[in-house]
Amino acid sequence: MNISKQKSWPLFAFIILFNISAFGQQSIYRKAVKQFTLGYVNKALETINKGIEKYPKYDKFYYLKSKIYYQSGNKHKAIKPLEKYYSLSHDPLALSELGYINFEIKKYKQSAQYFRQFLNTGKAHDSAKIEHLIDIALFRNYAYAHPVPYHPEKLPPTINTKWDEYFPDISAMGMLYFTRKKQNEDIYFSQKKQNTWTQAKPFKTINTNNQEGACSISPDGKVMIFTRCTPTAGCDLYITKQINGKWTRPEKLPAPINTSAWESQPCLANNGQTLYFVSSRPGGKGKLDIWAVDYIHGKWTHLRNLGDSINTPGNEMSPFLHFDNKTLYFASDYHPGLGGYDIFYSRKINGHWTKAKNIGYPINTDKDDVRMIVTALGDTALFSSQIDGNHDIYLFKLYKKARPTPTLFLVGSCSNGQTHKPLKAKISIIDLTTNKTYFTSNTDSFLISIPMGNFAFYAERKGFTFESKNFSTLDTNGGKKFVYVNVKLYPIKKNLVIRLHNIFFQTNSYHLKPESYIELKKVVRFLRNNPKISIEISGHTDSIGTYQYNMELSEKRAQAVADFLVKQGINPSRLQVKGYGYTRPEATNKTEKGRRLNRRVEIKIIKI
């Protein structure tokens, strides 16, 4: 018994010593907490440091020290004691806090590492949020280490003032529209003349005592869609058109564009047939989403959300679809960025938007960067940023990787070849690479943007001849901005000749290329719409080769066209075939350009 009692004394002594030690640790800890609570930061740190000297294994001292540094604004010093706390306690929440503190002091690589460790513990209640923070941290770590080329030029005081200027948009003719906020938001405009921006003026037709801004102008400058916000109805989209040089009274766009929710920040696509805009309506991916709607047969229809590649649980805004119809620039406060709103871009490939890509630092900053537009050639951008504190509009050369497909503006007109007066006709522009219609409208003039490529142009109207053109926009010719296509349609009469510009054969062959079928179907429709007409189909060549060879080749090519028309249901009796070889040149055969003009197929009306 005595031996047993003696053996219990060391354990009993340890318990007493442990309790005394624990009491001492807690007493010092409580004293430091009280000092910090009362605002005695330095005294609290002195108490903590003395406690650490006496009890270096007591983890709470290190956590409190980290907390004191953090809440006192010395976040960098908060990290080491928090790391020591984790090494002693193995508290997984310390990893989360280390992730947040490193994130706040812009040590993004370390932040991502701590967040990843925290996820691996399985203790994260919102793993999706932590994954998102890891993505942001990794992006920022990369972006700051790999800045993109950027040399912004602030637009002059004729545009930027002490007020906020933002949401720029520009027409093909160089008219800049933007929003300026004084007491209200209003739309202003300025034009570039002789390399100088004119003094911006308010758009009086649109501006009211309400809020007007965030507009989108069509390339030809004749249609504008803009935002109007009122105290009772909130924000909705309106449209105004320029007719005979005057702007019409704005009209509110119908459903499904406007709803009882918030609609704003429009972008009218180059072809005028698709409208992109921002809405807070139910059914989206987050708070503010980008939506699209089409204008078909006089009605707005086919409303759609742009989907997960663009929209997020956060806010997406200020869409700008480039003139190439496939590169979208927009702002987001949720996609991995540098803070506030960042500019992103996405490309439409096979009908689907690619994952949004941040346009990079230092274009994006830790402030709000919104509404970037890019000129037709794709090398110059304008956007609004808070570089100098206020929102101002800047211009800069866009680095190559973020550029859209270069485009040119196509200016077209149609007139009556007999009276020389404007003539409305069905205009079609077809991409010869894809055989898809790029643009169609019933008009006598237009201005649209065309991407780099080879195109066919058609104008047709009942009772008149049709006209075709072939043109290429592959050569920008040192900054060339416009391509002009002017056509004349003639009232149908005997002996009229129509050149078929888009008939293509294999070299030294009479086999039709598939690119020819679009034009040949236009001939079919012309003959069906005019059933009493008979035509001569004539083939012509350049002067390379013998007389006999070219006569035979030209006739076989004309016959190939006739065979196609017959297969489409045209009565052979309405068709005559003639080969002229090189006997009727339109241009010199001494140049390639001239020879190309001489190689042609024509139809002549021989009976009406």
Q: How far apart are CA 563 and CA 63, in angstroms?
A: 89
Q: Is the pLDDT of residue 159 over 90?
A: yes
pLDDT value of residue 7: 38
Q: Is the pLDDT of residue 2 over 70?
A: no
Nearest one of 154, 147, 123, 148 to 387, comparing CA atoms:
154
Q: Is the pLDDT of residue 456 over 90?
A: no
The SS3 assignment for 325 reads coil
Q: Is pTM beyond 0.85 here?
A: no
pLDDT value of residue 476: 54
pLDDT value of residue 477: 54
pLDDT value of residue 377: 87
Backbone conformation region of residue 251, classed left if phi is above 0, alpha if psi is from -120 to 50, else beta: beta
- In the chain, % of residues over pLDDT 70: 95
The SS3 assignment for 552 reads helix
Q: Is the pLDDT of residue 524 over 90?
A: yes
Least trusted range by pLDDT, from 66-70, 465-469, 546-550: 465-469
163-400 falls under which CATH superfamily?
TolB, C-terminal domain (2.120.10.30)
Handedness of CA 471, 476, 480, 482 (dihedral sign): positive
Report CA 207 to chain centroid distance, whole Å: 27
Domain boundaries, the chain: 15-145, 163-400, 406-491, 492-510+523-608
In sequence order, the 6+-apart residues with CB closer than 8 A to the CB of 483 are: 408, 409, 410, 411, 450, 471, 473
Nearest one of 60, 146, 174, 89 to 358, comparing CA atoms:
146
Nearest one of 374, 452, 448, 437 to 407, comparing CA atoms:
452
Nearest one of 150, 168, 151 to 159, comparing CA atoms:
168
- Per-residue exposure over 50-87, b if at least 16 CB sit within 10 Å of its own CB, e if not: ebbeebeebbbbbbbbbbbbbeeeebebbbebbebbbe
CATH hierarchy code of domain 15-145: 1.25.40.10
- In the chain, % of residues over pLDDT 90: 76
Give tens-digit pLDDT for 184-240.
999 999 998 888 999 999 999 999 999 999 999 998 899 999 999 999 989 999 999
pLDDT bin (cut points 50, 70, 90) of residue 453 is confident
Q: Could you give phi then psi for residue 86, rounded to 5 degrees?
A: -65, -40
> Which structure tokens are listed for 239?
């449209």
Give tens-digit pLDDT for 388-408.
888 999 999 999 999 999 888
Higher pLDDT, 478 or 32: 32
pLDDT value of residue 16: 37
Q: How far apart are CA 305 and CA 178, in angstroms?
A: 26
pLDDT bin (cut points 50, 70, 90) of residue 374 is very high
Q: How far apart are CA 466 and CA 468, in angstroms?
A: 7
Give tens-digit pLDDT for 270-301.
878 899 999 999 999 999 999 999 999 899 99
In sequence order, the 6+-apart residues with CB closer than 8 A to the CB of 508 are: 553
Tell me the C-alpha to C-alpha distance, in Å, between residue 394 and each of 161, 167, 369.
13, 11, 11
Give tens-digit pLDDT for 109-158.
999 999 999 999 999 999 999 999 999 999 999 999 999 999 999 999 99
Report CA 442 to chain centroid distance, whole Å: 28
Q: How far apart are CA 183 and CA 211, in angstroms?
A: 9
Are residues 243 and 253 in contact, defined by beta-carbon separation less than 8 angstroms? no
CATH of 492-510+523-608, one of 3.40.50.620, 3.30.1330.60, 3.40.50.1260, 3.40.50.300: 3.30.1330.60
Rounded (10°) CA dihedral 291, 296, 302, 306: -30
CATH architecture observed for domain 406-491:
Sandwich (2.60)
Least trusted range by pLDDT, from 147-151, 380-384, 450-454: 450-454
What is the residue-averaged pLDDT of the chain? 91
pLDDT value of residue 17: 40
pLDDT bin (cut points 50, 70, 90) of residue 20 is very low
pLDDT value of residue 5: 38
Tell me the C-alpha to C-alpha distance, in Å, between residue 401 and each of 285, 397, 589.
28, 12, 43
> Which structure tokens are listed for 437?
């219609």
pLDDT value of residue 328: 98
Are residues 316 and 288 in contact, defined by beta-carbon separation less than 8 angstroms? yes
**534-560 average pLDDT score:** 96
Q: How far apart are CA 317 and CA 286, in angstroms?
A: 12
pLDDT value of residue 15: 38
> Which range scores top for mean pLDDT: 10-19, 247-256, 384-393?
247-256
> Which range scores top for mean pLDDT: 18-22, 256-260, 364-368?
256-260
Q: Could you give phi then psi for residue 338, rounded to 5 degrees?
A: -100, 0
Q: How far apart are CA 199 and CA 157, in angstroms?
A: 8
Q: How far apart are CA 229 and CA 250, in angstroms?
A: 13
pLDDT bin (cut points 50, 70, 90) of residue 478 is low
pLDDT bin (cut points 50, 70, 90) of residue 439 is confident
Give tens-digit pLDDT for 58-68.
999 999 999 99
